[in-house]
Amino acid sequence: MSRPAGIIDMCFAAPAGRLATKDVEAIWQSASAARTGVRERTVLDADADVITLAAEAGRGLGLLPGTVGAVFFGTQTSPYLSRSAAAILADMLGLAPEIFATDVQFSTKSGTAALAQAIAWVKAGLSDRALVIGADALCLHAAPGDPLEMTAGAGAVCALVGTGNVAARFEALGSTASDLADGFRLQGDDYLRTGGAGLAGSGLGDMRHMGGAWTALGDRLGGDARFDAIAVQQPDGRAAERVAKALKIDPALVSGGAVAPLLGDLGSASPLAALLLSLEGRQVGERVGLLSYGAGAGSDAMSFIVERPLDAGSVRRAIARRRLMDYATAVRREGRYRMHQHPLGVFE
């Protein structure tokens, strides 16, 4: 028989650098900044990546060696194609070597996929605790001039999952997945590709899959299940409103987890950061939903019952730690205008 499990604690990290969307709009003479609902997005430091962001978030949990049995690292923007980000992070946090570690990749729902796997791991009794990471640096893979350049940010969430002293007890899961090329990055590509405004506007990707996952979750919970807050994927500042309208959800339920307007699209960290905000200040016994989407395409919908509220101070501190920079500085830090790796010299 499986054991009850849930989220014990969570911590968030994001770069201090910020780029205003109006500055990107001015460079490319477009008129789409206002439509994104994002005022600023995060800019990754030149010497940072998703692993260093995850390490910053993980240290905020105060983990001790021997207390975590597994690490599930969800990201689509790892700096390595074949080296394990989870193993590196486990070493950085002092959790290695006696630990199970694996990377999880499913576009921007990598974080919720990792969370689902960690919950199953703990419920199966393979260890009492597991560490979950949802992290992305989409800003490194946004092509200059692409609309994604206005919204693509970076951030990481670490969540400690276990069976004792849980803050949010896992209740149920509903998921969908199908083959749809609405967003991807091929091996060797620097930049993310999307299906364009036509495919995005059709709802065949996000709304179809999120709606299916949400319906599946409702079927598992029963028709009378009531939610007190819902954390949703936020590729831009207006996504939560669109999801609420499409799924006939009260917009007030999704408003408490807003992160995209001030930080941009955090990718795999986005729904988990929204979940952390949504769990703050909740009453015992309340139900909180989680709804993610990953291009390619798939969605996870989860429900949690609050056992005790969580402190989302790490999110507020990350938002407040803000250093505005111009477009030239941002793209130089992110290295998106790449120099030749081996330029010709006078002796070649």
pLDDT of residue 340: 54
Distance CA 201, CA 195 (A): 10
The conformational region for residue 23 under phi > 0 = left, psi -120 to 50 = alpha, else beta, is alpha
- 130 in a structural domain: yes
Tokens of 189: 């590509």
- 166 in a structural domain: yes
Distance CA 157, CA 271 (A): 9
Q: H helices then E strands: how many in the chain?
A: 14, 14
Distance CA 52, CA 59 (A): 11
- 1 in a structural domain: no
Chunked in runs of 10, what are the mean pLDDT values of the chain (348 residues)? 90 98 92 89 95 98 95 97 97 96 98 98 97 98 92 98 97 97 90 74 84 97 93 96 96 96 98 98 97 96 97 97 96 80 52
The type of residue at 305 is: I
Q: Give the max Cα distance, the chain.
A: 76
pLDDT of residue 345: 52
Distance CA 16, CA 319 (A): 8
Give me the CATH number covering residue 59. 3.40.47.10
Domain tally, the chain: 1
The conformational region for residue 37 under phi > 0 = left, psi -120 to 50 = alpha, else beta, is left
Is residue 155 within 8 Å of residue 16, measured between CB atoms? no
- 329 in a structural domain: yes
- 345 in a structural domain: no
- 341 in a structural domain: no
pTM for the predicted model, two decimal places: 0.95
pLDDT of residue 1: 59
pLDDT of residue 339: 59
- 45 in a structural domain: yes
- 204 in a structural domain: yes
Ordered DSSP codes for 3-22:
PP-EEEEEEEE--SEEEEHH
pLDDT of residue 348: 46
What is the span of the domain harbouring residue 155? Answer: 6-334
Is residue 126 within 8 Å of residue 69, measured between CB atoms? yes
The type of residue at 160 is: L
